Structure 1
Amino acid sequence: MITKEMIEFVARFEHDPVGFVKAMYPWGEGELEGQYPQTWQLELLSSVAEKMQYDPMKVQRYATGSGHGIGKSAVNAWLIEWALYTKVDAKAVITANTDTQLRTKTWVELSKWHRLNIASEMFVYTATSLYSADPAHEKTWRADAIPWSKSNPAAFAGLHNKGSRILLVFDEASEIDDVIWDVAEGAMTDDDTEILWFAFGNRTRNTGKFNDCFGKDKSRWDTRKIDSRTVEVTNKRLLQEWVDYYGIDSDFVKVRILGEPPSSGEYQFIGRDIVEAARARTLDYHSYQFAPAVIGVDPAWLGKDEASIYVRKGNWSKLLYTEAKSDDHKAFAHRIALYEDEYRAAAVCIDMGYGTGVYSEGKALGRRWHLIPFASTKCDMGYFNKRAEMWGSIKQWLIEGGALDPLDKDIADELMLPELVASNNGTIKLQRKEDMAYSPNRADALALTFAVRLKASSYGLPAQKAKAGKQALRYDPLKAMY
């Protein structure tokens, strides 16, 4: 029977998940004989407690990448129970990489800890939910296990709970599609609400939103990497056997023991190891004056895509320009022409997708630019289309000494984004842009610098073309340019 004293006791832990976990379960007794929370678990809960007590209304984000067997499911269960028990009308949504994982592991673990909770009568556990035993609150005070669906992410758009608390848990987060992350992020906008988001899992991919938590989005996430060998309850003998057999630098050990991402995903075309090596190189532009400059242009028109311009001279490369949309063809063409003259480019290659208007403006300027159809099958043997061939050239260039622009913080992630897909003729084929989390416009611009083969006699052409054609001018929309 739930008493007033028990309710008041639980309420003491509103912003103290550490105290809640220690107080609400019979540690060292019965089923938990010889068992206590592990060090990393208490450190995570302590971090939550510290931030909640300092500023409970600030959105809290926690990402934990780990090896196997460290007790992630137990922490999930504790967080769900703490979030509900200590805040009236709190809401929680829990999802996992697959429906099977969610039902047979994540939610089953919650069943165990709810059964052990000394105040278990306060909530009703079912196969898909945990809700208040008070009939007046059973619809508003609850946690639900919800499988995610890329084609129907609406369940993660209804996380609003103004004035109370929202808990969102992603288990095995690497395999949860980026669209679910985006929808969840956009839904958690309520003011005057405690919002907590936890992502757990093995880092099975080196791209995607979970990976970004430890990389470009690290400033927004409280992150931790848990090596399975440092956790009290893991089988150290088996873990060492894996290390000895596969090697400490193997992807198997990185993902399943160290809590690190693999160097290369199972279907990833350009692996992290290749990209990181290229990022570490520092090349002097002046050392490549002998090499012809090639400019790649990937215009953009829709959605979140950005128009990008890249230049490459030998193993040196640089991002020249980006903008949200290249919808002013005349202005964009003049900008390209300015870069062409500045770098005395031997070739300018433009993606045909949204580039025909820009190409036409360049033609009016007397520029001999190249319009490149990514889907063209006029490519080297072994590649499915022109796009795959250009990306194959990037990969080889990176392996053989190509260096990435150190000021471009996004190019590395974009280069690792495309995955291989099956082709009907056994050639190398990359997944469609429509199937990616976002369009790798910068990487496509860099790829376009490999679109044409140059003849030695063409290296001096840019200066001649500039004299023969119209000079590039800074575009002024109030003046007629020609």
Structure 2
Amino acid sequence: MEAIEIPYTPRYPHVHEVLERTRFVVLVAHRRFGKTVLAVNHLLKAALLCRRERGSFAYVGPFRNQAKAVAWDYLKAYAAPLPGIQINESELSIVLPGGARLRIFGADNPDALRGLYFDGIVLDEVADMKPDVWESIIQPALADRGGRALFIGTPKGVNLFSQLYFRAAELQAAGDPDWAALSFPVTATNALPPAEVERLRREQSDNVFRQEFLCDFSASTDNVLITLDEVDAAMRRPADPEAAAAWPLVIGVDVARFGDDATVFFRRRGLTAFPPNILRKFSNVDVAHRLMACIEEYRPACVCIDQGQGTGVIDLVRALVRNPETVIVEVPFGSRALKPERFFNRRAEMWTSIRDWLRAGGRLPKNDALRAELSTPVYDYDAAGRLRLEAKDAIKERLRHSTDLADALALTFAVPVHPLDAFPPAPRRPRRYDPFAPDM
């Protein structure tokens, strides 16, 4: 058989070496790196060398039209010199001389991918894809033939792409031969002239440049409410028990009844937040009894409970609470803010309070899920100029789960909290802590 040559000169031959020996590769690269050309040619070579009957390969973008615009012309151009190829423009597919087929798909139509098998696949701009496309559709499609996957993209905060990259890096460091994580910031390549890089650095915001050209997952978009840097700094701060003791203990309770969501009890005392209690698949009665035990153990001044799923818990706890110093506060996330001229609703107000608390030196327990939840939501302003937080459903779509931990922490900011020395000394001190006490 005559040798078949693809008219492509690799700019990054060492990357292709990793791709050929590793089953799953997550490639993070700066804009204009040449990810698409690299991926198309890797896929084309794999398809040409495939010796299996009816080899199947795919290039998947977030949207079919986007994938067509980005990759289809490249695929046809590099495949054009090959003898006997069959191009189908309506299907966006090419059948190669050995019988293998390459197709373009969009993750916006996951049903088009269901029931297929793949020997190799490229997922482009993974950050813009719904997690289920990889987890529920493509992973099974690779399983029966031991297919390979290449994930390519540029950071866009915390999402499926960041999770895949850090997971791949962790597995690679542990010696797993199936996974590799590659990162190429603009400082590590010659893809752009140095003068152009400096122009971009000057003219773009620091967050945008770090994200788009330095491949920094911790860089946030300009309208993210709480940045990854702020969360990471809070998780590195050492505990200060003496300072915490000067404040009353507050517990935030975000209630979830069965399903995939979790019920969370989050304790906070001043600038210190303690590791949360997480309950899954508990009934309201069970949650109420667990919360009562928590109240008995920690003797909080105030417990703020989400009204949404927590009304049953609130009624039970109020009926059962035996500590007269604990106030039970019912908090509707969508209700009017305490400062309605500044915030669209109570939820936006509470989350902004988390941000301000972090900037004042707040300390967080180390928790990867909490880290992702806090640093994901973005914000905008309504017509009245009030800060409005991104909808919970939109956040859940990117994270793959609800912001249960972060919402429980937010509930500890539902009412004003004052240091203990703000109250008059005994015996004039109120018997019960008043969360709505005026500033003193």
Q: Give the shorter-chain TM-score range.
A: 0.7 to 0.9
Q: Which residue of 1 aligns with 2:349?
A: 389
SS of corresponding position for 1:46? helix
Q: Which residue of 1 aligns with 2:72?
A: 107
| Aligned residue identity for 1:106 | A
Deviations 1:155-193 (A, max 9, x none): 23334x3xxx532212222223334344435534634x2
Identify the match of residue 145 of structure 1 among 84, 89, 104: 104
Report the CA distance between 1:194 and its aligned residue.
1.8
**Cα distance in structure 2, aligned partners of 1:262 and 1:97:** 22
Contact between 2:64 and 2:104, CA under 8 Å: does it hold in 1? Answer: no
Q: Which residue of 2 aligns with 1:167?
A: 120
Gap regions ≥5 residues in structure 2: 172-178, 433-440
Report the CA distance between 1:274 and its aligned residue.
1.9
Q: Structure 1's 179 and 194: CA in aligned 2 closer, same or farther, altered over 3 A?
A: closer
**Cα distance in structure 1, aligned partners of 2:319 and 2:424:** 21
Residue 210 of structure 1 pairs with residue 161 of structure 2 = yes
Residue 341 of structure 1 pairs with residue 312 of structure 2 = no
> Map of 1:169-188 to 2, 5 A cutoff?
169-185=122-138, 187-188=140-141
Identify the match of residue 44 of structure 1 among 5, 15, 19: 15
Q: Structure 1's 266 and 176: CA in aligned 2 closer, same or farther, altered over 3 A?
A: farther
Report the CA distance between 1:99 and its aligned residue.
4.3
Gap regions ≥5 residues in structure 1: 10-22, 28-35, 52-59, 466-482
Q: Structure 1's 376 and 218: CA in aligned 2 closer, same or farther, altered over 3 A?
A: farther
Residue 130 of structure 1 pairs with residue 94 of structure 2 = yes
Q: Which residue of 2 aligns with 1:71?
A: 34
**Cα distance in structure 1, aligned partners of 2:378 and 2:75:** 36
Q: Structure 1's 97 and 452: CA in aligned 2 closer, same or farther, altered over 3 A?
A: same
SS of corresponding position for 1:296? strand
Residue 284 of structure 1 pairs with residue 227 of structure 2 = no
Deviations 1:371-424 (A, max 9, x none): 211111142131111111110100110111111102x22111000122224534
Identify the match of residue 57 of structure 2 among 92, 96, 109: 92
Contact between 2:26 and 2:168, CA under 8 Å: does it hold in 1? Answer: no
**Cα distance in structure 2, aligned partners of 1:70 and 1:371:** 52
Report the CA distance between 1:82 and its aligned residue.
2.3
Q: Structure 1's 200 and 399: CA in aligned 2 closer, same or farther, altered over 3 A?
A: same
Q: Structure 1's 452 and 229: CA in aligned 2 closer, same or farther, altered over 3 A?
A: closer
> Map of 1:76-475 to 2, 5 A cutoff?
76-87=39-50, 88=52, 89-116=54-81, 120-127=82-89, 128-132=92-96, 141-149=100-108, 152-159=109-116, 161=117, 165-185=118-138, 187-188=140-141, 190-191=143-144, 193-203=145-155, 205-215=156-166, 218-219=169-170, 221-243=179-201, 245-246=202-203, 250-261=206-217, 263-327=219-283, 329-366=284-321, 368-380=327-339, 381-406=341-366, 408-421=367-380, 423-436=382-395, 437=397, 438-454=401-417, 456-457=422-423
Deviates most, 194-203 or 390-399? 194-203
Report the CA distance between 1:330 and its aligned residue.
2.7
**Cα distance in structure 2, aligned partners of 1:197 and 1:300:** 36
Deviates most, 419-428 or 408-417? 419-428
Report the CA distance between 1:339 and its aligned residue.
2.2
SS of corresponding position for 1:453? coil
Contact between 2:380 and 2:389, CA under 8 Å: does it hold in 1? Answer: yes
Q: Structure 1's 430 and 158: CA in aligned 2 closer, same or farther, altered over 3 A?
A: farther
Report the CA distance between 1:147 and its aligned residue.
2.1
State the Cα RMSD in Å.
2.8
Q: Which residue of 1 aligns with 2:437?
A: none
Report the CA distance between 1:429 and its aligned residue.
1.2
Q: Which residue of 2 aligns with 1:25?
A: 6
Report the CA distance between 1:77 and its aligned residue.
1.2
Identity %: 24
Deviations 1:124-144 (A, max 9, x none): 23441122457xx6xxx4221
SS of corresponding position for 2:238? coil
| Aligned residue identity for 1:198 | L
**Cα distance in structure 2, aligned partners of 1:320 and 1:93:** 43
**Cα distance in structure 2, aligned partners of 1:300 and 1:385:** 21
SS of corresponding position for 1:113? helix
| Aligned residue identity for 1:42 | P
**Cα distance in structure 2, aligned partners of 1:26 and 1:366:** 76
Q: Structure 1's 233 and 431: CA in aligned 2 closer, same or farther, altered over 3 A?
A: closer
**Cα distance in structure 1, aligned partners of 2:26 and 2:148:** 11
Contact between 2:336 and 2:344, CA under 8 Å: does it hold in 1? Answer: yes
**Cα distance in structure 1, aligned partners of 2:215 and 2:412:** 36
Deviations 1:36-84 (A, max 9, x none): 322xx32232223333xxxxxxxx3221111122221121112221232
Deviations 1:215-236 (A, max 9, x none): 3564355211102343244323
**Cα distance in structure 1, aligned partners of 2:381 and 2:132:** 23
**TM-score scaled to structure 1, two decimals?**
0.76
Contact between 1:80 and 1:167, CA under 8 Å: does it hold in 2? Answer: yes
Report the CA distance between 1:432 and its aligned residue.
1.9
Q: Structure 1's 378 and 259: CA in aligned 2 closer, same or farther, altered over 3 A?
A: closer
Q: Structure 1's 24 and 459: CA in aligned 2 closer, same or farther, altered over 3 A?
A: farther
Report the CA distance between 1:440 and its aligned residue.
0.5
